[in-house]
Amino acid sequence: SAVISQKPSRDICQRGTSLTIQCQVDSQVTMMFWYRQQPGQSLTLIATANQGSEATYESGFVIDKFPISRPNLTFSTLTVSNMSPEDSSIYLCSVGLFATNEKLFFGSGTQLSVL
Amino acid sequence: SQQGEEDPQALSIQEGENATMNCSYKTSINNLQWYRQNSGRGLVHLILIRSNEREKHSGRLRVTLDTSKKSSSLLITASRAADTASYFCATDVSLYNQGGKLIFGQGTELSVKP
């Protein structure tokens, strides 16, 4: 299994500012992903965080808006840039240990509110 | 884009009853997984069924998969108040079966009344 620490757990931000969310895993993992969950909705995959290279973004998400870093196999950050109220969501980090199984482990999420 | 559709969107039952949730999807999958989410926070993996499997059991959970109909169902037997949560199906559509790229359904909100 994997234990994921995601920070901050919640934040209230002003329009036009940026917030960086951190995801720390207690062991080296193969895959790291970032998901967004808008209020009352399901999860949407933002991007796959690739170690040592640019993240792979899903349709509708761009690097300028959601820059992602993954400097090593245990840590990743997601930045929500130039925020607007539409960015108010829960952002979730998830990891996969695909040497052993195909399920994902999730962090507890970051509840972001943009005023 | 979402490919999973779940029904019902909400389900309210009494403790001890069984709860059945259904999931449909559109594309080919490597496997289908069910997750549980309490109070809109982190998800917990419940069960995984591979595309070549038809049924799987884990404790009070039973999941079925019909790839011809592109559908799955999750049955929770003898429900408890603690089962109250949102349940999501997720299809693994990773290329080359690398794993991890999950597309989530819309979810079923289950309420179990004591």
Q: Model confidence over B31-76: pLDDT tens digits?
A: 999 999 998 678 999 999 999 999 999 999 999 999 999 999 999 9
Query: Are A101 and B48 an interchain contact pair (Cβ–Cβ within 8 Å)?
Result: yes
pLDDT class of B112 with cuts at 50, 70, 90: very high
Q: Model confidence over A82-102: pLDDT tens digits?
A: 999 999 999 999 998 766 567
Q: Name the token pair of B47.
A: 């069960």
The mean pLDDT value for B14-37 works out to 94
B42 at A interface, C-beta within 8 A? yes
Closest CA of chain A from B14, distance in Å: 24
Which of B45, B53, B97 is most worth mutating to test chain A (most A CB atoms within 10 A of its CB)?
B45
Q: Model confidence over A14-28: pLDDT tens digits?
A: 999 999 999 999 998
B98 at A interface, C-beta within 8 A? yes
Cβ burial B7-42 (10 Å sphere, 16+ → b, else e): eeeebebeeeeebebbbbbeeebbbbbbbbbeeebb
> Tokens 């003898």 identify what position?
B78
A1 at B interface, C-beta within 8 A? no
B25 at A interface, C-beta within 8 A? no
- 3-class secondary structure, A7: strand
The percent of residues in chain B predicted with pLDDT above 90, rounded, is 75
Q: What is the pLDDT of residue A94?
A: 93
Task: Taking the CA atoms of B41, A27, B92 and A94 in sequence, report the sign of the dihedral they define.
Answer: positive
Q: What is the pLDDT of residue A108?
A: 93
B22 pLDDT more than 90: yes
Total CB pairs under 8 A between chain A and B:
69
A36 pLDDT more than 90: yes
Angle CA(A96)–CA(A56)–CA(B50) in degrees, nearest 5? 40
Q: Which residues contact A36 (CB under 8 A, 6 or more apart)?
A: A43, A44, A46, A89, A90, A91, A92
A41 at B interface, C-beta within 8 A? yes
pLDDT class of B92 with cuts at 50, 70, 90: confident
B114 pLDDT more than 60: yes
